[in-house]
Structure 1
Amino acid sequence: MIDLLAQLTAFRAEFSPLLEPLAKLLGAIAVAVMLHAAIFAFLQRGMLQEDTFLTRFLHRARRPLRLALALLAIALVTRSLTFPDRLAAILGHGVLIAIIVLVGWSVLVVMDLLTERSLRHHRLDTADNLMARKFLTQVRILRQAVTIVTVLLTVAAVLMTFEGVRRYGVSLFASAGAAGLVVGLAARPVLSNLIAGIQIALTQPIRIDDVVVVEGEWGWIEEIFATFVVVRIWDWRRLVVPLSYFIEQPFQNWTRQSATIMGSVFWYVDYTMPVEEMRVEVERIIRASPRWDGKVANLQVVETDKEAMQLRALMSSHDSPTNWDLRCEVREKIIGWIQTTHPASLPRLRAEMVAGDGASLSGHPSEAGPRPVGSA
């Protein structure tokens, strides 16, 4: 019991000189936090209700400013306080780390604000949004790349404040052969996708809201992240593809230069179908549709065989979803037109029956015996 009391007394004697400086330090930090809250509560009633660049900046910088005020309070108070050398070193190290984090955090906040401001002038909800999609893709990918680099540099700067990490870093550079090879192989997927992201931002084989066919799936480029791309498929599924795929593998981009696209509809009809009459009807239906963009509308016989003719109609629209609807509309209306006006011209099989003496029942000579004859 006596030993415990002696230890407590020694502990109190050792740390009692630190209680007053620590209390003042914590009090200064608390005052800084309360001052920050009071300032923003005052601004919230007036200026922060408006949608201006300064308002958006204050909203984004609220937490970094709290940290900055706390660091300022620590810097002002520690000038008048006396700490033991070890505690002063720990406190100085912590302040240095906080300053590094604050600088990296501020860079991210400023970058987000500038990105948001620049994107306000480019809208995707317009008919001709090609330039907006180009700009949006570049800005988003480059912002993600800058974010990753900023975070990595901030973490590296924080780690380099530790003496053990600095010694390890120097030894690592001294033996950079094997260690660099191991690190390079381990980081290859991340680095390849990061480099692919920069390539995509500069060359733009894909852009936000592009219509693509990837792995046999048709959809839109919904999001481009630092290492992967999200493709929104037509049935609302999401296909997640690595960024490097769009650099290394072939894929279809239906809106590379323009969203305008042509579509085709095929019919198989009998040889008795009057093609010119059907061409007039197809063009009439296409030209009457609000989904047509006024560029391409025609009908052609593209194939024939022993059973039927294959007819193809071409039609254009200002984007692929509209063209899909236009193709379905034309296909359905022409089927109804054929059923109403030329039902005998639907695809069918014919057979010719002959008598035993080789005479055709239809009056044409034929070989002996009945045989089916397939025709168009």
Structure 2
Amino acid sequence: MARRALILVEGHRRVGLLYVQAARRLGLHPISLSADPTCYDYHGAESIEAIRIDTDDLDALIHECSRLRAIYDIAGITGFVVDDESVYATVGKLCRYFDLPGPNPASIERCYDKFIQRQFLAKAGVPIPAYRVAANSAEVESSAAEIGLPVIVKPAVGSGSIGVRLCRNVDELAEHTTYLLGGKHLWRSSPKILVEGYAQGPYYSTDIMGNEVIGICTADFVRPPHFVFRGCAHPAPLTDDEYKRIADVSLSCLQALGLYWGPTTVELRWTELGPVVIEVNPRLAGGTNPRLVQLAYGVDLITDHVKLVIGDKCDLRRRHSHTAASRNLVPDRDGTLDWIEGDSRAAAVPGVAEVKLYVEPKTPIVMKGDYLDTIGHVIATSPSLAETEAILQRAVDLIGWSIT
């Protein structure tokens, strides 16, 4: 009998290893298809079968999966890459071709382009910020004038907070527009800039599997004008009414965009008018979030996603109710990392569930205001948010580094 395999298109530096481990727990042989397998350090550590291939070429992927199907029983196909969500649309097309469970590629593509996403949300009456699309500096300037400063300016296509900035005045607006259009930002498609009103208020994120809300977290950011996560916590401290309003708005996004299968993450702000949707991502949240969900509720989103991918039923019942929170380690300057230490001491603090460092000494540190600015994280859990935050602070205080 042929060995059952799970095809992973590309990967993810935070959750990619968790998918590999989940696949193996389910008796699957993980196979990675990647344009550059060396990008993912867990490939070597886990001895993963990795195949170099142009993952932008659907025909090449179909040919390779057909070749693998002669060797393995391909149980499912999934994939991800944090700064290029088009990979997930490609996964949907592969699943359709091979008649495997997977997302609707048309629905994924509606989300992939955030301007199109907003058009669908607006048509359905979902509360979103005012928005305009611009192709040049003059259009960015006029869009900001129509909406009114401050505004958020970002690429219409992208993720991981790459190229996203709060522009509070005309000088910041001009500076960021020059950055995006002046050759420093890597565009994966024709330059298209989204200008939108700044929805002010606490940030929340809804984790959904299929059409079931698993939990709602709260998060904060390191410092403006960028949006690098400082940390997040499950569950968010909400009243029953607030939880219901956020959940209802989040589920209305699924209907508007045709997202009925697999994981979705909806990002919102609670403004003077209530919950306003910032973004809908047709995938699991990256970073520490899947681990926080598991610690807080006992729901393993990654394993459940893999079960869906291979056609098995997943069990989304909450098994317990704890508080879990994370704190990201974010430097405050560019330079070279001389040393970083204290992670083992931090891991020994009672209540700490995980400490991870992403960098080694002598690593160049270049702050860009996106997810790559983080150099590690700490996760803690306890019965209450206040206690969990105190545990996190004790642990983070034990970790130090030097940058010159």
Question: Normalising TM by the smaller chain, what interval?
Answer: under 0.3
Which of the pair is proportionally richer in helix? 1
TM-score of the aligned structures, taking structure 2 as reference length: 0.21
Structure showing greater relative contact order (alpha-carbon pairs closer than 8 Å, 6 or more residues apart) = 2
TM-score of the aligned structures, taking structure 1 as reference length: 0.23
Q: Which structure: larger Rg?
A: 1
Which of the pair is proportionally richer in strand? 2
